[in-house]
Amino acid sequence: MCRQLIRDGAEWADSHLWKDAQGDDLPEIDREVIALLDNGKVVFAHRPYKGKYIGKSLTTGNIETFENETYDKGGWNQPNVKWWLDIEKLPNMEE
């Protein structure tokens, strides 16, 4: 009985915590989440807005038009995101 409860809890956690980064259940646009890359690295990632925007170039100092680059089916801000985890950020500990 106890082993079955542990097994059921582990299966629930597996299906509800880490989500497939290339699936249909993705975080809302621009929400920072914890992500696991295909090489095992843990990073912060988000799905940026698609489209163009105007900003100041860090290299030239000129005002230019930029476009967010997205990767893979999930439209992530970096390539090779395999899994993602959505948790609330810790409260600000600075006072």
pLDDT on residue 59: 92
pLDDT on residue 40: 95
Instruction: Please give the chain's pLDDT, 95 residues, in tens.
Output: 678 777 776 676 666 689 999 999 999 999 999 999 999 999 999 999 988 989 999 999 999 999 999 999 999 999 999 999 988 766 775 65
- pTM score of the predicted model: 0.69
Please give the full DSSP string across 7-75, using - where no structure is assigned: HHHHHHHHHHSSEETTSS--PPTT--EEEEETTS-EEEE--PPPSEEEEE-TTT--EEEEE---BTTTT
Q: What is the DSSP letter of 79?
A: T
